Structures are given as C-alpha cells and as structure tokens.
C-alpha cells in the first residue's frame, strides 16, 4: 500500500442496511478487524435492529445515520458530508413470503432505493478527483434468487446464468442488479455485484427458515415445513459472506459480478431435522424432545423455487476467497447463539411480528393457527 492509499483508508465506507441481519454482521466484522471508519445508513424497518450494534454504538469508528435510501436529498448530503471511499449496499426488503403478500415495499426500496443510491453515488463520484476517484467503489449485495430455480441435475448458478427471477422479491433484486450494470456501462460508475446463496447465523430475523424453526421449537410450537420439504437451498454462514464482500471490495474488478456460496446444498427437511437434533442435544431437559415431533407440513409457498446452488469458483480462483465454516459447525454456532440470546428473540418477536405470523401461517392448512 503506498502513502496515498494509506491516507484514503482513513476515509469511511458507507454501508446501507447495516442494522439488518447480514449488514450488522458485516459492521461488527469490519470494526473488529480495524478496517477504518464506517457510516451506517439504515431506515430501521421491522428488520433493522439497533440492538445488533450495541457493542459498537460508542466506537469512534462507527457512525449511525437514520434515513431512507429512497430519500435523494438525505443520501446526497450524507455522501458529501462523509466523503466515503466506498458504498456497500445491503439495504433491501429481503423476505420472499412478505413480497408475495405485499410487493409494493419491495419495488420501492429494492428498485427505487437502489436507483436513488446509484444516482447520488454517481454525482458524488463525478465530483471526486485523483486518488479518491481511482479508489472509489460501489458494491451491490444481491442474491442467487435472480437466477430462478434449478432442476435436480442442473449445474449450479454461475455468473453467466441467465436471469429468471420468480418471486416479487427476486424480480426486484434482479431489477436492481440491472440498474447497477447500466450505471457501470453508461456512466462508468466503478460498481461490482455479489450474488450470494442463503445465509444463516446470529441476528437472523425469525421470519426466515432457520431462526423461525429454532424459536418455535424452543416454545413447543409447530415447525411449519412448506410443501414436501424437498426444496434445496445452498447455505453459507453469514460471517463467510461478510468476508467475501470485504474481499470483493478490496480486490474485485469494477463491472464484475461474483457468485458467493459455500457448497452446502440441503433440503429444507434435512435442515429442520438437523436443527431438531441439535436442540435435543443442547437442551437435554426440554419438554418438547424429540423436537422433530413438532414438524408440520403446511401449504406450499406460491411459485416456490425448487432448488438453488451456487458455483463460487470465480471468487475462489480470481480473488482467493473461500468459505471457512462448514454447515455442521456453522449451524451449531447458530443454535448456541440463539440459546444464549433469548432476550434478543423476545424483543424482535414482540409487537408487529405476531401480525406477520398470523398473516403468513394463519391460512396454511396443517398448522390451523398452531404455528402461532
Ligand atoms: P434484512 O431484511 O435482515 O435487513 C435489511 C436492512 O435494510 C434492515 O436493517 C432495514 O432496516 C434496512 N432497510 C430496509 N429498507 C430500507 C430503506 N428504504 N432505507 C434504508 N434502510 C433500509 O436483510 P438481510 O437478510 O440482511 O439482507 C441484506 C442484503 O443481502 C439484501 O440486499 C438481500 O437481498 C441480500 N441477500 C440476503 C441473503 C440472505 O440469505 N439473507 C442472501 C443473499 C443476498
Ligand atoms: O437465496 C438467497 C435468499 O435466501 C435471500 O436472497 C433472501 O433474502 C433470503 O430470505 C433467503 O430466501 P429463501 O426464501 O430461500 O429463505 P427462507 O428462509 O424464507 O426460506 C428457506 C426455505 O425454507 C424456502 O424453501 C422456504 C422454506 N420455508 C420457509 C419458512 C419461513 C419453510 O418451509 N417454512 C417456513 O416457515
């Protein structure tokens, strides 16, 4: 690193959505690694939780900015004030089931919000000079769901797999990816995209499969498996995803896309059974043992993608990133985290959470209100 680069490391990075699941893990990893100052722009929707970031709230390297990525004036002012060396864009509506019940918020934040961020980042980038301009990066955090669904013997998604999004969530993320691509090609914004598979780990909101199953099992509530439970997801421990994003930020090439995944394909039923076995072991005096007896098959998700799998060879061979956590060790760490942080679960599942559970599970046959 030369002296100009070293100087610029003192400039912050701007993270959006840093109070959510992956964003908060990223913020904590970044600060712990001493990678420099970080500004976190977050609207604090139901999915954003300041409790995730209590340990860094008073750290001089951390600044919180409460706002909306759709608010151009706010975003522009933040960029001019903090002069970040990079933008890492996590902020999104992220839950597929919610996108089925109410797609509007997904179009607003994921498409309009990304457009606003790109527009303001471009204006900011155009005003930079010299080394600041050379080093600036925009990293858009996206998903494997933009590629659609795979048959059992199809090869895993690679960076050239055609986009075929199936849910309103996936379509809104695909649209945002296309906007980023256009800003690279038309305006020369030095942006990169990562498309990652399913994450799991601490701070995962209990509307998603893994934390929902852990939370319900502890209370003896039904474990609602959609359809036949044979859908396949490719699981990655969240800290590995955060490290992949840091790697792309440091070594990635502007204009490139990188697929991120850990090579852990499992059916939903396998995941739920593994969680139940872990809970049987870690909570030996539970009155609900064996936890697998709580499994209930319920009505399937409309348009449910059957299988996702990621081919991560590009980021591995070109940038030297590789997942470190195995699914077994990562899942054990995750269950231990939820068992040690029952207050966190209580806080995020009070209030409006119950309305969501009623809306999503109330009408699914097989649970008859029991998942609530
Ligand atoms: P999350 O729902 O847990 O968190 C989203 C965060 O964005 C919250 O803090 C929320 O308050 C904030 N936010 C929402 N709308 C906003 C707005 N208009 N302005 C500012 N902030 C806003 O999401 P997550 O699971 O952490 O996902 C983060 C990103 O990673 C998303 O872009 C998602 O598409 C992508 N992704 C997620 C996964 C996964 O398995 N969770 C996998 C691949 C990619
Ligand atoms: O693949 C990456 C994507 O992974 C991210 O882009 C999304 O933001 C993230 O939410 C996740 O999407 P999924 O739809 O795969 O995750 P979810 O945890 O909602 O569901 C995982 C699988 O489990 C899916 O096949 C649906 C099923 N499921 C989910 C819930 C909530 C159930 O069987 N029962 C449930 O109650």
Domain boundaries, the chain: 3-202+238-262+308-325
DSSP per residue over 53-64, as a string?
GGGGTT-TTEEE
Tens digit of each residue's pLDDT (9 = 90 or more) over 154-197:
999 999 999 999 999 999 999 999 999 999 999 999 999 999 99
> Could you give the C-alpha distances from 110 to 86, 127, 352, in angstroms and in order?
19, 26, 22
Tens digit of each residue's pLDDT (9 = 90 or more) over 112-143:
999 999 999 999 999 999 999 999 999 999 99
Instruction: Please give the pLDDT value at position 366.
Output: 58
- List, chain by chain if needed, residues with CB within 6 Å of any ligand 2 atom: 94-96, 143-145, 197-198, 208-209, 212, 224-226, 231, 233, 268, 301, 308
The three-class DSSP label of residue 314 is helix
User: In sequence order, what are the residues at sequence separation of 6 or more whose Cβ sits closer than 8 angstroms to the Cβ of residue 160?
Assistant: none
The residue whose CA is least distant from atom 16 of ligand 2 is: 208
Among the bound ligands, name the one nearest to the CA of residue 96: 2
pTM of the model: 0.97
> Residue 37 C-alpha to ligand 2 middle, in angstroms?
33
Instruction: Please give the pLDDT value at position 270.
Output: 98
User: In sequence order, what are the residues at sequence separation of 6 or more whose Cβ sits closer than 8 angstroms to the Cβ of residue 368?
Assistant: none
> Is 300 an annotated catalytic residue?
no
CATH superfamily ID and name for 3-202+238-262+308-325:
NAD(P)-binding Rossmann-like Domain (3.40.50.720)
Among the bound ligands, name the one nearest to the CA of residue 225: 2
Instruction: Please give the pLDDT value at position 8.
Output: 55
Among the bound ligands, name the one nearest to the CA of residue 71: 1
Q: Are 185 and 245 in contact (CB under 8 A)?
A: no
Tens digit of each residue's pLDDT (9 = 90 or more) over 200-211:
999 999 999 999
Q: How confident is the model at residue 1 (pLDDT cuts 50, 70, 90)?
A: very low
Atom of ligand 1 nearest to the CA of 44: 11
Mean pLDDT of 9-36: 96
Mean pLDDT of 58-83: 98
Question: What are the start-end ranges of the E strands in 86-150?
Answer: 86-89, 137-143
Instruction: Please give the pLDDT value at position 10.
Output: 86
The residue whose CA is least distant from atom 19 of ligand 2 is: 208
Asked whether the bond before 179 is cis by omega within 30 degrees of 0, the reply is no
Token output for 66: 């409460």
Taken in order 28, 18, 205, 197, the sign of the CA dihedral is negative
- CA 241, CA 261: separation in Å to the nearest integer? 8
Mean pLDDT of 260-285: 98
Mean pLDDT of 89-110: 98
- Mean pLDDT, rounded, of the chain: 95
> Is 125 an annotated catalytic residue?
no
Taken in order 222, 225, 226, 227, the sign of the CA dihedral is negative
Q: Is residue 9 over pLDDT 70? A: no
- CA 48, CA 31: separation in Å to the nearest integer? 19
Tens digit of each residue's pLDDT (9 = 90 or more) over 259-271:
999 999 999 999 9
Share above pLDDT 70 across residues of the chain, in percent, rounded to a whole number: 95
Question: How many CB atoms are located within 10 Å of the residue 326 CB?
Answer: 13
> Is 353 an annotated catalytic residue?
no
User: In sequence order, what are the residues at sequence separation of 6 or more whose Cβ sits closer than 8 angstroms to the Cβ of residue 31?
Assistant: 38, 56, 59, 61, 62
């Amino acid at each position: 690193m030369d002296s100009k680069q070293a100087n610029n490391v003192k400039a912050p990075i701007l993270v959006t959505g840093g109070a959510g699941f992956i964003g908060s893990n990223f913020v904590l990893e970044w600060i712990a690694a001493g990678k420099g100052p970080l500004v976190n722009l977050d609207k604090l929707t139901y999915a954003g939780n300041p409790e995730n970031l209590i340990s860094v709230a008073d750290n001089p390297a951390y600044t919180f900015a409460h706002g909306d990525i759709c608010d151009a004036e706010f975003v522009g002012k933040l960029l001019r004030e903090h002069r970040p060396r990079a933008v890492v864009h996590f902020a999104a509506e992220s839950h597929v089931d919610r996108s089925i019940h109410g797609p509007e918020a997904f179009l607003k934040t994921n498409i309009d919000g990304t457009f606003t961020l790109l527009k303001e980042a471009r204006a900011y980038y155009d005003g930079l000079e010299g080394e600041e301009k050379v080093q600036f990066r925009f990293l858009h955090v996206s998903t494997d769901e933009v590629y659609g669904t795979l048959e059992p013997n199809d090869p895993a998604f690679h960076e050239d797999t055609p986009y075929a999004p199936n849910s309103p969530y996936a379509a809104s993320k695909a649209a945002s990816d296309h906007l980023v691509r256009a800003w690279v090609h038309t305006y020369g914004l030095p942006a990169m995209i990562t498309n990652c598979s399913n994450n799991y780990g601490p701070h995962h909101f209990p509307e998603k499969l893994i934390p929902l199953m852990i939370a319900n099992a502890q209370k003896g509530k039904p474990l609602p498996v959609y359809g036949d439970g044979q859908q396949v997801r490719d699981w990655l421990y969240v800290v590995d995803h955060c490290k992949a994003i840091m790697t792309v930020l440091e070594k990635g090439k502007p204009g490139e896309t990188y697929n991120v995944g850990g090579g852990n394909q499992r059916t939903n039923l396998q995941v739920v059974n593994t969680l139940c076995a872990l809970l049987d072991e870690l909570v030996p005096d539970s009155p609900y043992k064996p936890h697998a007896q709580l499994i209930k098959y319920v009505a399937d998700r409309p348009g449910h993608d059957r299988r996702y799998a990621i081919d991560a060879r590009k980021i591995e061979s070109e940038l030297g990133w590789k997942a470190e956590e195995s699914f077994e060790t990562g899942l054990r760490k995750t269950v231990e985290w939820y068992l040690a942080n029952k207050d966190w679960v209580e806080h995020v599942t009070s209030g409006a959470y119950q309305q969501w559970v009623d809306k999503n599970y109330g009408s699914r046959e097989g649970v008859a209100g029991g998942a609530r």
